[in-house]
Amino acid sequence: MLRLAFGRPWRQTEGLLGSLLRLLGLDLPVPDHTTFSRRSANLEVAMLRYKTLIGRSLRARTLPAQKVEAAVGGKVLNIMTSLGMPVSRKVA
Protein backbone atom coordinates (compact mmCIF):
# COMPACT_ATOMS: atom_id res chain seq x y z
CA MET A 1 0.00 0.00 0.00
CA LEU A 2 2.87 2.36 0.77
CA ARG A 3 4.40 1.63 -2.60
CA LEU A 4 1.12 2.37 -4.33
CA ALA A 5 0.69 5.59 -2.35
CA PHE A 6 4.21 6.95 -2.87
CA GLY A 7 5.14 5.23 -6.16
CA ARG A 8 8.58 4.08 -4.98
CA PRO A 9 10.53 0.88 -5.77
CA TRP A 10 10.32 -1.99 -3.28
CA ARG A 11 13.70 -1.35 -1.61
CA GLN A 12 12.82 2.31 -1.02
CA THR A 13 9.44 1.28 0.38
CA GLU A 14 11.24 -1.04 2.80
CA GLY A 15 13.45 1.86 3.94
CA LEU A 16 10.47 4.21 4.28
CA LEU A 17 8.58 1.73 6.43
CA GLY A 18 11.66 1.23 8.64
CA SER A 19 12.03 4.99 9.07
CA LEU A 20 8.36 5.39 9.95
CA LEU A 21 8.55 2.65 12.56
CA ARG A 22 11.67 4.24 14.11
CA LEU A 23 10.01 7.67 14.21
CA LEU A 24 6.99 6.15 15.94
CA GLY A 25 9.28 4.46 18.47
CA LEU A 26 8.03 0.98 17.53
CA ASP A 27 10.42 -1.93 17.72
CA LEU A 28 8.81 -4.02 14.97
CA PRO A 29 10.55 -6.00 12.24
CA VAL A 30 10.32 -4.59 8.72
CA PRO A 31 9.43 -7.15 6.05
CA ASP A 32 12.01 -7.68 3.30
CA HIS A 33 11.32 -6.06 -0.07
CA THR A 34 10.88 -9.51 -1.65
CA THR A 35 8.01 -10.17 0.76
CA PHE A 36 6.39 -6.93 -0.38
CA SER A 37 6.61 -7.89 -4.03
CA ARG A 38 5.13 -11.36 -3.45
CA ARG A 39 2.20 -10.03 -1.47
CA SER A 40 1.52 -6.98 -3.60
CA ALA A 41 -0.31 -8.91 -6.30
CA ASN A 42 -2.92 -10.06 -3.78
CA LEU A 43 -3.24 -6.58 -2.33
CA GLU A 44 -3.67 -4.92 -5.71
CA VAL A 45 -6.38 -7.43 -6.66
CA ALA A 46 -8.13 -6.87 -3.32
CA MET A 47 -8.01 -3.09 -3.76
CA LEU A 48 -9.41 -3.42 -7.28
CA ARG A 49 -12.26 -5.56 -5.94
CA TYR A 50 -12.93 -3.05 -3.16
CA LYS A 51 -12.97 -0.09 -5.55
CA THR A 52 -15.17 -1.96 -8.03
CA LEU A 53 -17.73 -3.02 -5.42
CA ILE A 54 -17.71 -0.10 -2.99
CA GLY A 55 -16.50 2.79 -5.14
CA ARG A 56 -13.34 4.78 -5.71
CA SER A 57 -13.95 7.35 -2.97
CA LEU A 58 -15.64 7.66 0.40
CA ARG A 59 -18.96 9.44 0.45
CA ALA A 60 -19.01 10.41 4.11
CA ARG A 61 -17.75 13.89 4.99
CA THR A 62 -16.51 13.49 8.57
CA LEU A 63 -13.58 11.31 9.62
CA PRO A 64 -15.60 9.13 12.07
CA ALA A 65 -18.19 8.48 9.37
CA GLN A 66 -15.44 7.71 6.85
CA LYS A 67 -13.94 5.17 9.26
CA VAL A 68 -17.31 3.46 9.60
CA GLU A 69 -17.83 3.50 5.84
CA ALA A 70 -14.41 1.92 5.23
CA ALA A 71 -15.01 -0.71 7.93
CA VAL A 72 -18.39 -1.63 6.46
CA GLY A 73 -16.87 -1.83 2.98
CA GLY A 74 -14.15 -4.15 4.30
CA LYS A 75 -16.72 -6.40 5.98
CA VAL A 76 -18.80 -6.57 2.80
CA LEU A 77 -15.70 -7.48 0.79
CA ASN A 78 -14.70 -10.17 3.32
CA ILE A 79 -18.17 -11.71 3.24
CA MET A 80 -18.28 -11.72 -0.55
CA THR A 81 -14.78 -13.21 -0.73
CA SER A 82 -15.67 -15.96 1.75
CA LEU A 83 -18.80 -16.83 -0.22
CA GLY A 84 -16.70 -17.29 -3.34
CA MET A 85 -14.10 -19.52 -1.67
CA PRO A 86 -14.13 -23.15 -2.79
CA VAL A 87 -14.85 -25.82 -0.22
CA SER A 88 -11.84 -28.11 0.10
CA ARG A 89 -12.19 -31.75 1.06
CA LYS A 90 -9.46 -34.30 1.60
CA VAL A 91 -9.51 -37.05 -1.01
CA ALA A 92 -8.58 -40.48 0.28
Kindly report, residue by residue over 2-61, the tens digit of the pLDDT: 555 566 777 787 888 888 888 888 888 887 777 766 666 666 666 677 677 677 788 888
Overall domain count for the chain: 2
The whole-model pTM stands at 0.42
Do 27 and 12 fall within a single domain? yes
68 and 26 housed in the same domain: no
Expressed as residue numbers, the domain containing 90 is 59-92
From the number of C-beta atoms within 10 Å of its C-beta (0-12, 13-18, 19+), residue 13 rates as: buried
Residues 38, 80 share a domain:
no
